[in-house]
Amino acid sequence: MALMITDECINCDVCEPVCPNNAIYQGAAIYEIDPKLCTECVGHFDTPQCVSVCPVDCIPLNPEHVETKEQLMEKYKQLTEKS
């Protein structure tokens, strides 16, 4: 699954710079995650970096973008052009 940021986000700016895929961006009211770019840090780190730095715990899995670890790894390979 891709991750998502809920409306509990306080716009603290800590999640955006730690995303290795540049999937996090400032939306109209809060930060948002582009599900096409989010790999939950699979291929980069053992755990999602945005979740680990978020002070308010507002980055859950996005139920609208269900993906297996294998699918996330494939997305990582496509994004980084690695095979």
Q: What is the CATH number of the domain that holds 54?
A: 3.30.70.20
pTM: 0.92
Instruction: Please report whether residue 66 resides in a domain.
Output: yes
Range of the domain at 49: 16-80
Instruction: Please report whether residue 7 resides in a domain.
Output: no
pLDDT tens digits for range 12-69 = 999 999 999 999 999 999 999 999 999 999 999 999 999 999 999 999 999 999 999 9
Going from the C-alpha of 79 to that of each of 8, 14, 53, 73, 75, the distances in angstroms are: 29, 23, 23, 10, 6
- Is residue 83 scored above 60 in pLDDT? no
pLDDT of residue 82: 63
Instruction: Please report whether residue 5 resides in a domain.
Output: no
pLDDT band at 8 (very low <50, low <70, confident <90, very high): very high
Number of folded domains that form the chain = 1
pLDDT of residue 1: 79
